[in-house]
Amino acid sequence: MKIVVLAGGTSTERDVSIVSGTGICGALRQKGHQAILVDVFCGQEEVDWEDPFPAEYDVEKAAEYMSSFNPQIKEMEKKRRSFFGPNVLELCEKCDIVFLGLHGANGEDGKVQATFDLLGIRYTGTGYLSSAMAMDKRITKEVFLMNHVPTPGGFTMTRDNLEKDIAKHGLEFPVVVKTSCGGSSVGVYIVNNQKEYEDAIDGAYSYEDEVVVEEYIRGREFSVAVVDGKAYPIIEIAPKQGFYDYKNKYQAGSTVETCPAEISPELTEKMQHYAEAGAKALCIEGYARFDFMMKENGDMYCLEANTLPGMTPTSLIPQEAKVLGIDYPDLCEELIRISFKKYSK
């Protein structure tokens, strides 16, 4: 197949997206597909339109080209009106499917998906509506609660309705302060007192205008992929220091990841059930990853859903797939296969 692997973009997760896209493109090339790596925002100035999906292709060179724009992204945003870079949409219209390797805002939030729907461009992952709902942690929590998926209690606030007294919402320290639409744990703070709380609010507002404050669940952290409606084996994430923040997610050796997680069959079944229920509640098509915390007594809470989770060869979903005997290149093909289902309805 002719495939555009779309990565990069303008979010705080741009670097991670380029790593995911590089891995995906290399894996699909390994499987014999004519895959090319394209930056959704920076685009591709020069295209051989007689052969835009060449048999011979240097994935690493394409990734280096994308990374070369990193220092200029903020300035480019100020000068540009269109989000899509040169020749991006034209290349996407010529391929069989776009593999979305984007993460964060303007990629995982449904905007790209909605554009592609209008243009008739096929893409991997879920549609625009479920992407938008899952991206917004406030909406996600409300959907979870309506569908009996346990999630930490809390409240949402904007700059205009700032709430400094968490007790009014039935909370006490420690609490978690995080951006409503952030990803990769960027803008996430665990706070233990009023001073830390007010500092965390300032930090979170430096990323966006809506902030979620929720109870801190002390316990073990897990993640569950739901692929084509079925939960994959659970993976436990144990950071060597602190919590599973940006550094611990992407710095080698920062966490111990165990798959399948060493919990009882009963707890495994329960967590997988909640992950599948969360996917159904958010109308997820294709695949997504659900993050959980579990207390010592076995009470578990779904924190959020990630509709375009990390897809480097060592990311969580590839590790879960490996337990099922699915290697990384086969997983990339499988995600394409199930993504085509939404176009056969």
State whether 231 and 197 are in the same domain. Answer: no
Distances (CA, A) of 142 to 93, 145, 151, 283, 339: 36, 5, 9, 14, 26
- In this structure, the answer to whether residues 19 and 69 fall within a common structural domain is yes
Strands of 34-39's sheet, edge to edge?
34-39, 2-7, 97-100
Could you tell me if residue 10 is inside a domain?
Answer: yes
| CA 159/CA 165 separation, integer angstroms | 15
267-286 pLDDT, tens digit per residue, is 999 999 999 999 999 999 99
Residue 148 lies in a domain: no
Q: Distance between CA 154 and CA 301 in Å, rounded? A: 13
Residue at token pair 């998906």 = 113
DSSP strand pairing (235-239 vs 220-227): antiparallel
Average pLDDT over residues 195-220: 91
CATH value at residue 312: 3.30.470.20
Together in a domain, 92 and 24: yes
Model confidence at 253: pLDDT above 80: no
| Digit-coded pLDDT (tens) for 120-154 | 999 999 999 999 999 999 999 999 999 999 999 99
Domain boundary among 82, 105, 123: 123
Q: Which pLDDT score, from 0 to 100, does residue 250 have?
A: 45
134 located within any domain:
no
Q: Assign 251 a pLDDT band (cuts: 50, 70, 90).
A: low
- Residue 270 and residue 229 in one domain: yes
Confidence at 245, pLDDT banded by 50, 70, 90: very low
> Cα–Cα distance between 2 and 52 in angstroms, integer?
9
Among residues 189, 215, 241, the one where a domain terminates is: 215
Q: What pLDDT does 65 receive?
A: 97
Place of tokens 């859903």: 305
End-to-end distance of the chain based on CA atoms, in angstroms?
A: 21
Q: Do 209 and 286 lie in a common domain?
A: no
Same domain, 236 and 177: no
pLDDT greater than 90 at residue 181: no
Rounded to 5 degrees, φ, ψ at 42 are: -85, -25
CA 224 – CA 231 distance, rounded (Å): 7
Indicate whether 172 belongs to any domain: yes
Structural domain contains residue 338 = no
Structure confidence at residue 246 as a pLDDT band (50, 70, 90): very low
Domains held by the chain: number: 3
- Residue 205 C-alpha from the chain's centroid: 21
Are 195 and 232 found together in one domain? no
Residues recorded for the chain: 345
User: At residue 312, what is the residue type?
Assistant: T
Q: Do 235 and 318 have their domain in common?
A: yes
If pLDDT is split at 50, 70 and 90, which confidence band does 242 have?
A: low
Give the residue from 108, 123, 138 where a domain finishes.
Answer: 123
Measured CA to CA, the distance from residue 178 to residue 53 in angstroms comes to 41
Whole-number Å distance between alpha carbons of 16 and 158: 28
Residue 252 pLDDT more than 60? no
Domain containing residue 167: CATH number: 3.30.1490.20
CATH code at position 10: 3.40.50.20
Looking at the fold, whether 91 and 108 belong to one and the same domain comes out as: yes
Of 57 and 160, the one with more pLDDT: 57
Same-domain check for residues 8 and 118? yes
Query: What are the tens digits of pLDDT across the range 309-337?
Result: 999 999 999 999 999 999 999 999 999 99
pTM: 0.92
Q: What is the pLDDT of residue 91?
A: 98
Distance of CA 203 to the CA centre of its chain: 21
Instruction: Kindly state the percentage of the chain with pLDDT values over 90.
Output: 84
285 and 316 together in one domain: yes
- Print the domain residue range for 35: 2-123
Same domain, 261 and 200: no
Q: What is the 3 state secondary structure string of the chain?
A: CEEEEEECCCCCCHHHHHHHHHHHHHHHHHCCCEEEEEECCCCCCCCCCCCCCCCCCCHHHHHHHHHCCHHHHHHHHHHCCCCCCCCHHHHHHHCCEEEECCCCCCCCCCHHHHHHHHHCCCECCCCHHHHHHHHCHHHHHHHHHHCCCCCCCEEEEEHHHCCCCHHHHCCCCCEEEEECCCCCCCCEEEECCHHHHHHHHHHHHCCCCEEEEEECCCCEEEEEEEECCEECCCEEEEECCCCCCHHHHHCCCCEEEECCCCCCHHHHHHHHHHHHHHHHHCCCCCEEEEEEEECCCCCEEEEEEECCCCCCCCCHHHHHHHHCCCCHHHHHHHHHHHHHHHHCC
* pLDDT for 319: 97
**Res 3: pLDDT:** 98
Confidence of residue 345 (pLDDT cuts 50, 70, 90): confident
Q: Is residue 336 part of a domain?
A: no
Look at residue 273 and tell me if it is in a domain.
yes
Residue 47 is assigned to a structural domain of this protein: yes
